[in-house]
Amino acid sequence: MKKRKSIVLIGMPGAGKSTLGVLLAKELALDFVDTDVLIQAREEKTLQEIMAESGYLNLRAIEGEVIAAAHLPSHVIATGGSAVYSEEGMANLKELGTIVFLECSAEELRRRIHNYESRGIAKAPGQTFEALFAERQALYREYADITVGCDGLTMQQALDQLLSQLPSRPQNGGRAP
Ligand SMILES: Nc1ncnc2c1ncn2[C@@H]1O[C@H](COP(=O)(O)OP(=O)(O)O)[C@@H](O)[C@H]1O
Ligand SMILES: O=C(O)C1=C[C@@H](OP(=O)(O)O)[C@@H](O)[C@H](O)C1
Ligand SMILES: [Mg+2]
């Protein structure tokens, strides 16, 4: 079977990378992988356990290794929100395909996420949501090939918006690098 370019979803926790990623993979007949699951399987620990045992910087380091080593053509790849801290990892993902930033405002994310402190976000202790949002926003923008604004959209509307912004199928359907 021909290898196709992958689609890589980046964005803040709660932006919809994992949930929309599955729907997108089904729509495009691609495989789906969530790099959070790859990390957990490699470490045989949950993300929360990794952070509790060795800290958020170690989780980011492991995430960087996992995404730098990922060989995943013809996939929709949902990353964790902290993937953008790894330059090497993002370079590899960019080689695999199109990077899509699911952009939500801080207000929208606040409406979706009610467990900011306990969700296992890889952030410095005490860092506020607003500070983390600002720090990350710059990185998501830097890496994005496409930005999909998700505020106020239902899941289906966000999926439709994403599909309409993707490069057309013939461009998508070339051989993977
Ligand atoms: N338009 C939307 N698109 C994606 N998720 C949405 C939307 N509206 C509400 N949600 C909710 O936001 C959450 C997104 O979570 P998730 O997919 O795990 O995000 P991420 O993987 O980016 O952290 C889910 O609980 C989902 O039901
Ligand atoms: O943004 C973050 O720091 C993180 C986001 C999580 O993934 P989601 O973005 O899919 O929630 C997960 O990788 C980990 O808990 C760290
Ligand atoms: Mg996720």
User: 88 CA distance to ligand 3 centroid (A)?
Assistant: 20
Residues placed in the known binding site? 14-19, 36, 60, 81, 119, 136
Model's pTM, two decimal places? 0.94
Selection from 54, 57, 63 nearest residue 87 by Cα: 63
DSSP codes, 61-86: HHHHHHHHH---TTEEEEPPTTGGG-
Tell the CATH topology of 6-165: Rossmann fold (3.40.50)
Residue owning the nearest CA to atom 7 of ligand 2: 80
The strand pair at 97-103 and 146-149 is best described as parallel
Q: Residue type at 38? A: L
> What's the complex ipTM?
0.97
Between CA 146 and CA 149 the distance in angstroms is 10
Q: DSSP assignment of 97-166, as one string?
A: EEEEEEE--HHHHHHH-S-TTTS-----TT--HHHHHHHHHHHHHHH-SEEEE-TT--HHHHHHHHHHHS
| Nearest residue to 33 (alpha-carbon basis) of 71, 87, 59, 68 | 71
Q: Walk along the chain (177 residues) and give the pLDDT tens digit of each residue.
A: 667 899 999 999 999 999 999 999 999 999 999 999 999 999 999 999 999 999 999 999 999 999 999 999 999 999 999 999 999 999 999 999 999 999 999 999 999 988 877 788 999 989 999 999 999 999 999 999 999 999 999 999 999 999 999 987 544 444 444
User: Exposed, middle or buried, 152 (CB in 10 Å: 0-12/13-18/19+)?
Assistant: exposed
Ligand nearest to the CA of 47: 2
Residue 105 CA to residue 16 CA, distance in Å, equals: 13
From the CA of 112, give the closest atom in ligand 1.
12
Residue 118 tokens, joined: 């306990």
Instruction: Return phi, psi of residue 75, to 5°.
Output: -125, 155
DSSP structural state of residue 172 = H
Neighbours of 107 (CB within 10 A): 8
Domain ranges of the chain: 6-165
